[in-house]
Structure formats: structure tokens, C-alpha cells
């Protein structure tokens, strides 16, 4: 997440197009990818007693005219899950010529009797049966091209750290997978390259490279960062789960019901941005020094966010697999950011004017770790409307963790001025964000354009969340939002798709009156 706000003029930019039961949302040129790719369908489908992968394939075969899919050729089952309501959700990867289409999922939802209740995701009904391009470069060559593109050497980014558990871990992650890249109606055989590292700067690069000629189709550093500082430890005393080893106490929490741990580091590397840094320790188990305050908050709030997701939804860490939650404080020098880098959290100290220690705000910590949850569930693409939803869902869960007010980051923003904040769910306009589709901003899909306005246009779904929570209360709303994020949303979901996902989640959990309340909330912000 980027906590910066760009001063901008609101413009009229969004039209909504509905065709039969297939609903698309479109926002000028920036809405093309969603308009072409993401759908949510509810109708009386042919096909009953769908209770296995085989029967789902038969369902698609029976409804080929509707979906334009050949299940044996076009779909690969990723997982099937049955929830507490007895509903089963089948998640498929869309294929073209046995190659996965990037950022594309198709979900089939059945009730406890096996009736298909909804199908949503990126169907790519008009996709070709095969890709014309041939693969002329290999995975290693794609990685080399990616490193050249970002102008960082592999040796600069490579760093090995020994953990308290005894094993070495490398803070550099690099992956290269053959995919079909889709954009503006074009399907291209490409490599999806991921480069995640902490030095010489925090990065989570996502690149798409033409597999035939090596052309860079897209490159984005999607580190979710929060620009700002925080007062850090606001003078309050916190109980901490620590670990005693070799006569020293570590900010290392093994008490959570998870396979991994919650661990906190200090970046003594300063300007060199060496991550994760060194464990925060104390010989007396009293972490009271000025240097330790930011680490105390980072460690405590990471545990609080873990507890929230575990207690409310049974989710075990951000990945639901018990993965380590690793935080590093004192990152950089006067660094006005906090970030989820793809494998850990980093927190700057701020400059003392715009922000103070970033780890001092529990809603910021919850926001960033929710980006990690999104990365492992809906995988909302970080651009245009799907990117604005990515930001909005992080804001909304930041509110659920810290529901004392509707403000975001108020504990650490402008420490010399009271009552100030970065954003507001109740009044986005006060913080230079639109709160209705007639104010939607068509910004360029570039870094300078905030990737199509992901931090600006998130005010619209934020205001819809505000209306929903006011109508249904926190207890129902948080369940509805979590179900939508983890069950129904797909990578290219638009605002309209989010409305439909939330309506369906409300219907599943609480019935028609709750679904109507969600509908009214989105009507109020002009998403129909």
C-alpha cells in the first residue's frame, strides 16, 4: 500500500454495462482488462447433483453454449473446498493450449445439495484455442531479461540470513513460469517473472516477458507500501510473547497455533537496507529502550492481526498454512513507508513530521498483512479497479482490527497535529478520494498514474463498506467481506464483481435482507 495522496480533480469516468446475467464494469481505457475478463453469473443452470470434479466437468459440457469452454482442454482444477455452510467451491485455472492464463481463475459454487449456485471469474470466452507465438527463450533467459529490465544485479539483491530456528533463509525470491499474458484483447505466450528482494530497495517485481522475442510486456514493482511515519510506541505498555535462548530474550513468538513463528528484526544496516536485519533482543525481557519501541509495536500488532484472522475466521497466518510473519523495523533512514514485500513486513521510522514510526498503528499493520492475505486468496491484480479493491479490502480489514473510528493511520500520521489521518471510510472526499462512481478518476496505468488510481478510487468501495457496516454491523460485515475475498473474488474483479461477490456472500451467510443491505450500499456509491 502507498499511503501518499495525490491532489487531483475528480472526473466522470465509469459506465456500467449489463448483458443478461453476465455483468461487466468498465472505467474508460483503464477498465478494459476487467470488462473483457471478469464475470459473475447466477441463473438456473443445467446440471444437478454436482458433487465431484467429474460432475463439474459434466456440468461445463452441458452448458458449453453458455461458457464457451471445453473442460478437458481449457480447465485445470486447482482445489475444491467445502465450507461451514456445506457449500463446495471448485477453483479452476483457465488454460489455453495447456498453458495457464495469467491472473485468471474460474470458480464454481454449489450448495449442500450439489446445485450450482454461481460461476464467476475470468472465463475468456473469446480466447483462441491455441497461441500463435512459439517459445524461443527459456526460463533462465527470461530471468536474465527481467534483471536487465529493472537494472539491478542478482548479486546486489542476494542476501542470506540465519534465523533463530537455525536454518538459513534467502531474502531473494525469483520465479519464472510460462503463461499466457492477456491485455486489451491480445493473448501472448509469455514468462511471468517474480523478483522479490530487500536490497538495494524493497521490491516485489512482477514482469511479463514475450516468450518468442523477449519483449517486456509489463513490469510493475507491487510492493504494498504505506508512505508515512508513526509515533511508534504511544507510551502504552504491551505484553509480549518472547523466546529465551542463550541467556537472551528475543522478539520471537512461538505461542500461536501455527507452523511458523512471529519474529521481529532491527535493520541496523541503515542505508544499505539489509533485510531482515538482526533479531531484537533484551537480557531482562523488558523491551523499554527508545530503540526497541518500534519493534515492540511491530511484534505486538503482528500477533494481534494473526489473532484477529484466526479467531474470526479460523485462518492460520496470512497464507492459511501457518507461514512465518516476519517484521523489520528501523528500515532505512527517515523512511516514510511501511511495506509488505511479498515475504515480510518492513517499517520505516518516518521523518518525525509527516509520520512517526510506522509500526505504531495497528490499522496500518492490519492493512499490510491483509495485502498478504489477498495475495494468497483472490490475488487481485494491482491496477485499475481490481487494484483499488486490493487497497480497499486492506483498508476495510484495517478498520475491523481497529474499529474505534473510521480513520486510517491516524495514530502515526502528522504526529504534531491531532485529528488528522490518511484516509477515511466514512468521508473519502475529505482525503482527496472519490466516494461515488460519478467522481471516478481515469488515471493512466503507470506508476505516475498510481496504476490506474488504486489508492485514489479505493475511496468508492471504502464508502460502500461504510454503508454496509452501518447497516449490518461489524460482526456480520466482517464475515461477508472475508467470504467475498476468500471465496468469490478473482484476480481481475471489478467494482461490479465485488458488489456481486459481497451480495452472494451476504446471501450465503445471512439471507436476503443482508444481501439487500449490501446492494443498497453499492447503489449509494453508484455501482449498479
Bigger pLDDT: 335 vs 383? 383
The mean-pLDDT minimum among 29-43, 128-142, 145-159, 444-458 falls in: 29-43
Q: Is 368 a catalytic residue?
A: yes
At 224, the pLDDT band (50, 70, 90 cuts) reads low
pLDDT exceeds cutoff 70 at 525: yes
What nine digits make up the cell of 515? 444481501
Total-model pTM: 0.80
Choose, from 122, 225, 263, 368, the residue flagged as catalytic: 368
Quick one: pLDDT at residue 418? 79
Q: Residue 204's beta-bridge partner residues?
A: 196
Quick one: pLDDT at residue 215? 96
- In the chain, the domains with their CATH numbers are 20-122 (3.10.450)
pLDDT tens string 80-115 = 999 999 999 999 999 999 999 999 999 999 999 999
Choose, from 24, 455, 478, 503, the residue flagged as catalytic: 455
Q: Is 53 a catalytic residue?
A: no
Catalogue the long-range contacts made by 401-410 (C-beta closer than 8 Å, 24 or more residues apart): 401/304, 401/305, 401/308, 401/362, 401/363, 401/365, 401/366, 402/361, 402/362, 402/363, 402/366, 403/474, 406/466, 408/363, 408/364, 408/367, 409/3, 409/226, 409/228, 409/230, 409/361, 409/363, 409/364, 410/361
Quick one: pLDDT at residue 23? 34
pLDDT exceeds cutoff 50 at 333: yes
Average pLDDT of the chain, as a whole number: 86
Quick one: pLDDT at residue 172? 81
Quick one: pLDDT at residue 122? 95
Amino acid at each position: 500500500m502507498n499511503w501518499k495522496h495525490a491532489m487531483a480533480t475528480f472526473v466522470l469516468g465509469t459506465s456500467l454495462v449489463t448483458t443478461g446475467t453476465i455483468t461487466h464494469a468498465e472505467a474508460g481505457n483503464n477498465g478494459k482488462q476487467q470488462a473483457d475478463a471478469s464475470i459473475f453469473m447466477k441463473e438456473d443452470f443445467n446440471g444437478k447433483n454436482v458433487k465431484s470434479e467429474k460432475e463439474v466437468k459434466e456440468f461445463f459440457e452441458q452448458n458449453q453454449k453458455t461458457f464457451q469452454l471445453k473442460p478437458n482442454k481449457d480447465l485445470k482444477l486447482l482445489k475444491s473446498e467445502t465450507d461451514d455452510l456445506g457449500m463446495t467451491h471448485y477453483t479452476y485455472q483457465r488454460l489455453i493450449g495447456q498453458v495457464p492464463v495469467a491472473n485468471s481463475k474460474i470458480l464454481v459454487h454449489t450448495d449442500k445439495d450439489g446445485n450450482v449456485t454461481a460461476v464467476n471469474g475470468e472465463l475468456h470466452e473469446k480466447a483462441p484455442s491455441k497461441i500463435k507465438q512459439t517459445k524461443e527463450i527459456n526460463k533462465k533467459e527470461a530471468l536474465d531479461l527481467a534483471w536487465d529490465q529493472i537494472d539491478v544485479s542478482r548479486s546486489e539483491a542476494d542476501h542470506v540470513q540465519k534465523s533463530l530456528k537455525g536454518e538459513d533463509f534467502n531474502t531473494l525470491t525469483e520465479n519464472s513460469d510460462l503463461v499466457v499474458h492477456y491485455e486489451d484483447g491480445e493473448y501472448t505466450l509469455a514468462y511471468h517473472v517474480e523478483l522479490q528482494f530487500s536490497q538495494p530497495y524493497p521490491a516485489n517485481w512482477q514482469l511479463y516477458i514475450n516468450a518468442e522475442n523477449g519483449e517486456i510486456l509489463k513490469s510493475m514493482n507491487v510492493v504494498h507500501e504505506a508512505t508515512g511515519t508513526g509515533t511508534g510506541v504511544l507510551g502504552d505498555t504491551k505484553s509480549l510473547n518472547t523466546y529465551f535462548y542463550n541467556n537472551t530474550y528475543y522478539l520471537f513468538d512461538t505461542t500461536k497455533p501455527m507452523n511458523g513463528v512471529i519474529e521481529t528484526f532491527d535493520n541496523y544496516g541503515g542505508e544499505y537496507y539489509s533485510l531482515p536485519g538482526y533479531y531484537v533482543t533484551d537480557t531482562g525481557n523488558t523491551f523499554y529502550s527508545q530503540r526497541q519501541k518500534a519493534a515492540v509495536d511491530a511484534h505486538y500488532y503482528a500477533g494481534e492481526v494473526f489473532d484477529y484472522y484466526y479467531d474470526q475466521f479460523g485462518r492460520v497466518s496470512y497464507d492459511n498454512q501457518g507461514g512465518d510473519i516476519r517484521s523489520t523495523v528501523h528500515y532505512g533512514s527517515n523512511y516514510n513507508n511501511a511495506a509488505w514485500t511479498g515475504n515480510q513486513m518492513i517499517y520505516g521510522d518516518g521523518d518525525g513530521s509527516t509520520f512517526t514510526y510506522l509500526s505504531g498503528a495497528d490499522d496500518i499493520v492490519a492493512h499490510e498483512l491483509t495485502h498478504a492475505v489477498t495475495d494468497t486468496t483472490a490475488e487481485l491484480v494491482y491496477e485499475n479497479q481490481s487494484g483499488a479493491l486490493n487497497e480497499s479490502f486492506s483498508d476495510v480489514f484495517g478498520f475491523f482490527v481497529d474499529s474505534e473510528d473510521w480513520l486510517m493511520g491516524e495514530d502515526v500520521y502528522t504526529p504534531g497535529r491531532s485529528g488528522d489521518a490518511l484516509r477515511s471510510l466514512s468521508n473519502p472526499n475529505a482525503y482527496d478520494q472519490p466516494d461515488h462512481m460519478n467522481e471516478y478518476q481515469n488515471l493512466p496505468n503507470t506508476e505516475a498514474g498510481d496504476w490506474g488510481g488504486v489508492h485514489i478510487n479505493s475511496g468508492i468501495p471504502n464508502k460502500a463498506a461504510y454503508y454496509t457496516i452501518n447497516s449490518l454491523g461489524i460482526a456480520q460485515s466482517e464475515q461477508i467481506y472475508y467470504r467475498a475475498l476468500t471465496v468469490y473474488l478473482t484476480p481481475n474483479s471489478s467494482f461490479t464483481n465485488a458488489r456481486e461477490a459481497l451480495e452472494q456472500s451476504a446471501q450465503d451467510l445471512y439471507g436476503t435482507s443482508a444481501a439487500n443491505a449490501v446492494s443498497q450500499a453499492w447503489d449509494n456509491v453508484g455501482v449498479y
